[in-house]
């Protein structure tokens, strides 16, 4: 299974936001936890259905989105 195959979008789940394997675990939530300093190990303990490859898929998804968006980022 390709990492990005783990990321799904279904209008009936979480209002169509990207989720992990058609669950209610949103990609943005995983990324927020990581940005907040949580480790992979912490996330895996807190969310037993989450797998290491799911976390890697979220990072890969974010990377893919950033590559395709043509936006500028200015630090505040």
48: confidence class by pLDDT, cuts 50, 70, 90? very high
Q: Does CATH place domain 3-68 in 1.20.140.10?
A: no
pTM of structure: 0.85
How far is Cα 66 from Cα 68, in angstroms, rounded to an integer? Answer: 5
- Taking 90 as the threshold, does the pLDDT of residue 39 lie above it? yes
Query: Rounded mean pLDDT of 10-26?
Result: 96
CB-based contacts of 49, cutoff 8 Å, min separation 6: 23, 25
In this structure, what DSSP letter does residue 23 have?
A: S
**Of 18, 21, 14, which is closest to residue 31 (Cα–Cα)?**
18
% of the chain residues with pLDDT over 70: 88
How high is the pLDDT of residue 34?
98
Instruction: Give residue limits of the domains in the chain.
Output: 3-68
């Amino acid at each position: 299974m390709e990492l990005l195959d783990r990321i799904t979008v279904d209008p009936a789940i979480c209002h169509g936001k990207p989720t992990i394997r058609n669950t209610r675990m949103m990609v943005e939530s995983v990324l927020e936890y990581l940005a907040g300093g949580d480790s992979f190990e912490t996330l895996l303990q807190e969310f037993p259905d989450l797998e290491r490859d799911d976390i890697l898929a979220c990072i890969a998804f974010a990377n893919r989105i950033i590559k395709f968006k043509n936006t500028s980022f200015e630090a505040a």
